[in-house]
């Protein structure tokens, strides 16, 4: 079976939670950030200083240890959807300190809509 890549309305749908995610990072709204993740023990998120396995670890990190990040500016973004239920988002973004970070997310359609099923963020080496 061949899946269609980047069906226009699915790409538009996939952009919304990604934009919300970045806005909630700036606002420091941990509950809103948690809502874009797949509520599953199978999700994994590797952050700048943390390795989180399962939704509970992610939610606990966001509501406990995590502090609001500096405002970020997305410099490049590549969104690729496969059919209507799966996609990836890869971004490079800078912050006010001049650092460049990279972020990769895998999105999966759930009963609640598109949710992050895997995520990885790391800084661009100096």
Please report whether residue 1 resides in a domain. Answer: no
In the chain, the number of structural domains is 1
Predicted pLDDT at 24: 82
Give residue for tokens 């269609």.
4
Say if residue 106's pLDDT is above 60.
yes
Predicted pLDDT at 2: 56
Are 120 and 104 a contacting pair, CB within 8 Å? yes
* pLDDT, greater one: 1 or 85: 85
| Average pLDDT estimate for 104-113 | 94
Q: Give 10: exposed, middle or buried? Use CB within 10 Å, 0-12, 13-18, 19+.
A: buried
- Domain CATH code at residue 52: 3.10.450.50
Please report whether residue 101 resides in a domain. Answer: yes
Lowest mean pLDDT among 5-9, 12-16, 109-113: 12-16
97 to 68, 73, 94, 109: CA distances (angstroms): 15, 11, 8, 35
For the chain, give the percent of residues with pLDDT over 90: 56
pLDDT in tens, 58-100: 999 988 877 766 678 889 999 999 999 999 999 998 887 788 8
Are 58 and 45 a contacting pair, CB within 8 Å? yes
């Amino acid at each position: 079976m061949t899946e269609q890549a980047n069906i226009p309305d699915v790409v538009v749908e996939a952009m919304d939670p990604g934009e919300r995610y970045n806005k909630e990072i700036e606002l420091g709204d941990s509950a809103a950030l948690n809502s874009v993740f797949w509520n599953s023990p199978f999700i994994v998120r590797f952050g700048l200083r943390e390795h989180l396995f399962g939704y509970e670890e992610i939610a606990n990190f966001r509501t406990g240890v995590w502090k609001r990040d500096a405002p970020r500016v997305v410099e490049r973004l590549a969104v690729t959807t496969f059919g209507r239920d799966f996609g990836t988002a890869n971004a490079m973004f800078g912050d006010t300190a001049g650092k460049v970070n990279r972020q990769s997310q895998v999105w999966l359609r759930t009963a609640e809509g598109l949710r992050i099923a895997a995520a990885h963020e790391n800084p661009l080496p100096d």
